[in-house]
Amino acid sequence: MSTVTNINPNKQEWLKVLDKECERTSQKQVADRLGKGISSTMINQALKGIYPSQKGLDRLQEKVEGAYMGKTVNCPVLDQITRDICIEKQELPFAATNPQRVKLFRTCKTCPNRRA
């Protein structure tokens, strides 16, 4: 079910992009692309303007801006990466078997790009 024709002209740009991508594919496919912690239910509620958590909505916005709008950040470990990848790396658990993951785990704790 699409809401593209019902987009409020005052709706934020990232929501318009999210809506168009859901129309092109599906809410499930978009949720899968955005990764861990993003569900089709969350996307549906965000598009309807009824998602109950501002923190969750902010996270979804950052993921959409990175994955579909090309927003990038300068990572101290990986150089320039999209915002959705930045969030994904922040959420990875510690893994002593992978030197890059160790460096990310330590660096992300104090990085200016870290989510609050």
Task: Report pLDDT for 115.
Answer: 78
Query: Which token pair is 77?
Result: 């470990």
SS (H, E, C) the chain: CCCHHHCCCCCCHHHHHHHHHHHHCCHHHHHHHHCCCCCHHHHHHHHHCCCCCHHHHHHHHHHHHHHHHCCEEEECCCEEEEHHHHHHHHCCCCCCCCHHHHHHHHHHCCCCCCCC
Task: Report pLDDT for 10.
Answer: 53
Q: Is the pLDDT of residue 111 over 90?
A: yes
Query: Which token pair is 116?
Result: 């609050």
Rounded to whole angstroms, how far apart are CA atoms 77 and 82?
13
Q: Is the pLDDT of residue 3 over 90?
A: no
Q: Is the pLDDT of residue 100 over 80?
A: yes
Greater confidence (114 vs 10) lies with 114
Q: Is the pLDDT of residue 2 over 90?
A: no
Average pLDDT value for the chain: 88
Task: Report pLDDT for 5.
Answer: 37
